[in-house]
A and B are shown apart, each in its own frame.
Chain A
Amino acid sequence: MELLVCIKQVPDDSVSVSLGADGAPKLDEIAPVVNAFDTYALEMAARFKEAHGGSVTVLTIGGDATVPALRSCLSVGADHAYKLAEESVCDTQGIAYLLSKASAKAGEQPFDVIFCGSESTDASSGQVGAQLAEILGIPVVTNVLAVEPREGGVTLKQETEEGYRVVEAPCPCVVTIVKPNYEPRYPSIKSKMAARKMPIGDLTAAGVEADAAQFGPEAAKVRRVAISAPPQRQSGVKIQEKEAAEAVRRAMEMLAGQKLI
């Protein structure tokens, strides 16, 4: 199957972000990384390809600053990478629109499954996958933990509040990925060196025949009006005992040690 993984470059989510005097997040000193949910999506797509054949293409909206992220993807299972540089896009609907247009031009064959992270670790809107499917007029399955091929489509394990649900969807479809029970792989030195030499396809809004009226500031349906910092959390202690009884015993000990009980 032909698999597309849409990725977003975000600030390293392990670094706490502060707001500048202008009220905007201060991101200059924070390393850009591939959104964690997108790395899970890529790992799932790479495993799918290794088990069932096909190829994996990664696609992002962004300029040259996204090249390290795309090379990183090429070193851990992606076969092809594309970026579409377009600075005027400013809401998820516009991003989804550009991705829909770019997905038709990236790669030689139509994609069977389009993987998106369930959300990004910066804006956390969780909208792009669903909006992309809407624009393309294809099914979307959200919160997916596993993908398996079936005749004419895929079988998906979906995470729900209560547990899991197994669903089927025809191809092409969009799936949004949550954290599976494995970690994204590390690149080997060989795959990293090979990724350095692989081409990265350049797309433009005009080149993919995108209508500026559909993605520019004028088209934006959602506008950010303010950002505020969350209240500071008090520091705590993590109890890591495996057994519940042992964890309770440890908690009691700590409380007693602090003369709280």
Chain B
Amino acid sequence: MNYQTLTPDLIQQLSAIAPGRVFTNGDINEDYTHDEMPIYGKAMPEAVVEAASTEEIAAVMKLCNEHCIPVTPRGAGTGLVGGAVAIHGGVLLVTTRMNKILNYDMENFTVTVQPGVLLNTLAEDASSKGLLYPPDPGEKFATLGGNVSTNAGGMRAVKYGCTRDYVKAMTVVLPTGEVVKLGSSVSKTSSGYSLLNLMIGSEGTLGIITELTLKLIPQPKETISLIIPYPDMESCIATVPSFFMHHLNPQALEFMGKDIVISSEAYVGKQVFPRKIDGVEAEAYLLVTFDGNDADELDAVIERASEVVLEAGAIDVLVADTPALKRDAWAARSSFLEAIMADTKLLDECDVVVPVTQIAKFLVYVDSLEESVGLKVRSFGHAGDGNLHIYCCSNDLEEDEFKARAEKFMEAVYIKATELGGQVSGEHGIGHGKVPFLAESVGEVNMRLMENIKKVFDPNLILNPGKVCYKL
């Protein structure tokens, strides 16, 4: 593409649209050059616009579309695939100032928010009203606009589904600067193509979300978590389908290996997961949460769950039934990524999703790559929905050598995942880091359909170029 660079005149026009909130050159905060996965490279935008309204975003898009200036939308920058990095320069359009919870509809259980509201902010605010926003991605300080743009999943997806299931409506600025409203508060629809669903998970390549109406549910009154240690990863993973076969319906069902638990506990400074029980070393764990509205019923559920897992080879079942115990149990899980990053100089990640019944087979294969590729492998994930977070790491290699090996590792991982019926990303998205793997996984026809959809929305290909399906 022949993108134009920003001229002083265009910067002046941007400044007129967003007075005092346009930054250039040395005034651009370095954080805006990357997301949380620096291995995909840094890129300095020509200008950062911290937008404050739908109208401002529409005006920016109109201006940039007319002058063929690339625009990269960005929330809190917590992505892991380079999706919010301005790899083709131009304008980085930041939505974090649009951070207001606009209103709750307590009769229809919805909340309308600006896209820059943080997940954590909404979760706490909804909770204070006795409501639950079920999507629960690990990164609590991501923006809701970012969550919707990647169809983020998280721990509670196994029971409640992903972000997509909680988006009722949205306001979107198209690359041309037109403003459209998608979806509505109705419960069902059969009214043409679902542009709402097309926008969800499109990673800011089709439009910029400027307002969201999200579904809430009444907050379950009770939750209990179980820490379930196993003597080996195989028996740990093999238990997972049993939860569903016995209709136990956990809210969250996570697996983790001993090594990553030890790293994470060292990182948070608190040991919670038992290392040895009655002389048996724990090598893997399930961390499970159940929710409900009746404490006695929930007790009955955890008793049944305990019978099932002990029968299946668990060493013991520890119960986190107080706020402090639950918090501590989940603190370690929530810090896995930070713990890995703190321990590692170079790392790359994939968040493939495979059928639940294939997790064990897939993990055995992934572990075998550690030796053949020559990289340290760390894995954990959402056992209940087959979404695995797999990291390849090195503290010794030069960056070029690491990248070469990581590419080989990722290729092998994605080929295996596809072979087992899996997909490239469960919740992080494609960004620009995973485009070739998506192409390989979904095939030529699917990629062509996606590229053509992109062109319909964005004829000049200015919005978030080089991401998802369009490798420029």
Quick check: B321 and A192 within 8 Å, CB to CB? yes
Quick check: A188 and B303 within 8 Å, CB to CB? no
Quick check: B323 and A33 within 8 Å, CB to CB? yes
Question: How many Å from the CB of A36 to the closest CB on chain B?
Answer: 7
Q: How far is the CA of A34 from the CA of B435 in the complex (A)?
A: 51
Let me know if A72 is at the binding interface, CB within 8 A. yes
Question: How many Å from the CB of A245 to the closest CB on chain B?
Answer: 15
Let me know if B306 is at the binding interface, CB within 8 A. yes
Known A-B contacts A186-B272, A259-B29; A192 and B319 likewise in contact (beta carbons under 8 Å): yes
Q: How far is the CA of A13 from the CA of B323 in the complex (A)?
A: 9
Q: How far is the CA of A258 from the CA of B272 in the complex (A)?
A: 36
For B327, the closest partner residue in chain A by CB is: A14
For B309, the closest partner residue in chain A by CB is: A189
Let me know if B270 is at the binding interface, CB within 8 A. yes
Quick check: A12 and B317 within 8 Å, CB to CB? no
Question: How many Å from the CB of B440 to the closest CB on chain A?
Answer: 36
Let me know if A62 is at the binding interface, CB within 8 A. no
Q: How far is the CA of A193 from the CA of B316 in the complex (A)?
A: 14
Question: How many Å from the CB of A232 to the closest CB on chain B?
Answer: 15
Q: B residues 292-324 with Cβ under 8 Å of A? A: 299, 302-303, 306, 316-324
Partner of A193, one of B271, B272, B303: B303
Q: A residues 172-213 with Cβ under 8 Å of B? A: 182-183, 186-189, 192-193, 196
Quick check: B342 and A12 within 8 Å, CB to CB? no
Let me know if B399 is at the binding interface, CB within 8 A. no
Quick check: B324 and A14 within 8 Å, CB to CB? yes
Question: How many Å from the CB of B61 to the closest CB on chain A?
Answer: 28
Let me know if A168 is at the binding interface, CB within 8 A. no
Q: How far is the CA of A170 from the CA of B270 in the complex (A)?
A: 33
Per-position binary interface string of chain B over residues 275-303, scored 1 when its CB falls under 8 Å from any chain A CB and 0 otherwise: 00000000000000000000000010011
Partner of B322, one of A15, A72, A188, A193: A72
Quick check: B30 and A33 within 8 Å, CB to CB? no
Q: A residues 9-34 with Cβ under 8 Å of B? A: 12, 14-15, 31, 33-34
Q: B residues 192-224 with Cβ under 8 Å of A? A: none
For A71, the closest partner residue in chain B by CB is: B321
Q: How far is the CA of A259 from the CA of B319 in the complex (A)?
A: 47
Quick check: A186 and B323 within 8 Å, CB to CB? no
Residues of B within 8 A of A189 (CB): 226, 302-303, 306, 316-319
Q: B residues 311-350 with Cβ under 8 Å of A? A: 316-325, 327-329, 338, 342
Q: Interface size class for chain B?
A: 20 to 34
Q: How far is the CA of A258 from the CA of B322 in the complex (A)?
A: 39
Q: How far is the CA of A63 from the CA of B137 in the complex (A)?
A: 40
Q: How far is the CA of A12 from the CA of B326 in the complex (A)?
A: 12
Q: How far is the CA of A196 from the CA of B295 in the complex (A)?
A: 13
Q: How far is the CA of A34 from the CA of B321 in the complex (A)?
A: 12
Quick check: B29 and A186 within 8 Å, CB to CB? no
Quick check: A183 and B267 within 8 Å, CB to CB? no
Question: How many Å from the CB of A177 to the closest CB on chain B?
Answer: 16
Residues of A within 8 A of B320 (CB): 186
Q: How far is the CA of A46 from the CA of B317 in the complex (A)?
A: 19
Residues of B within 8 A of A218 (CB): none
For B295, the closest partner residue in chain A by CB is: A68
Residues of B within 8 A of A256 (CB): 30
Q: How far is the CA of A94 from the CA of B427 in the complex (A)?
A: 57
Q: How far is the CA of A7 from the CA of B30 in the complex (A)?
A: 51
Quick check: A33 and B270 within 8 Å, CB to CB? no
Partner of B321, one of A14, A72, A259: A72
Residues of A within 8 A of B342 (CB): 240-242
Quick check: B319 and A12 within 8 Å, CB to CB? no
Let me know if A257 is at the binding interface, CB within 8 A. yes
Residues of A within 8 A of B111 (CB): none
Residues of A within 8 A of B29 (CB): 257-259
Partner of B267, one of A196, A240, A259: A240
Q: How far is the CA of A51 from the CA of B322 in the complex (A)?
A: 26
Known A-B contacts A188-B316, A257-B31, A259-B29; A33 and B324 likewise in contact (beta carbons under 8 Å): yes
Q: How far is the CA of A240 from the CA of B271 in the complex (A)?
A: 16
Which of A31, A186, A187, A241 lies at the interface centre, i.e. has the most chain B CB atoms within 10 A of its CB?
A186
Residues of A within 8 A of B271 (CB): 182-183
Partner of B323, one of A31, A182, A242: A31
Question: How many Å from the CB of B25 to the closest CB on chain A?
Answer: 12
Residues of A within 8 A of B31 (CB): 257
Quick check: A33 and B322 within 8 Å, CB to CB? yes
Q: How far is the CA of A33 from the CA of B27 in the complex (A)?
A: 49
For A36, the closest partner residue in chain B by CB is: B324
Question: How many Å from the CB of B448 to the closest CB on chain A?
Answer: 41
For B228, the closest partner residue in chain A by CB is: A189
Residues of B within 8 A of A182 (CB): 271
Quick check: A186 and B319 within 8 Å, CB to CB? yes
Known A-B contacts A192-B319, A240-B267, A241-B342; A186 and B325 likewise in contact (beta carbons under 8 Å): yes
Q: Interface on B for A, CB 8 Å cutoff?
A: 27, 29-31, 226-227, 267, 270-272, 274, 299, 302-303, 306, 316-325, 327-329, 338, 342
Closest 3 CB pairs of A and B: A186-B318, A189-B306, A189-B317
- Knowing that A12-B324, A72-B322, A259-B29 are A-B contacts, what are 13 other residue pairs whose CB atoms are under 8 Å apart, sorted by A's residue number? A14-B324, A33-B322, A33-B323, A33-B324, A183-B272, A186-B227, A186-B318, A186-B319, A187-B318, A188-B317, A189-B226, A192-B319, A257-B29
Q: Interface on A for B, CB 8 Å cutoff?
A: 12, 14-15, 31, 33-34, 36, 39, 72, 75, 182-183, 186-189, 192-193, 196, 240-242, 256-259
Q: Can you list 7 pairs linking A and B with CB atoms under 8 Å apart?
A: A33-B324, A186-B325, A188-B316, A188-B317, A188-B318, A192-B321, A240-B342
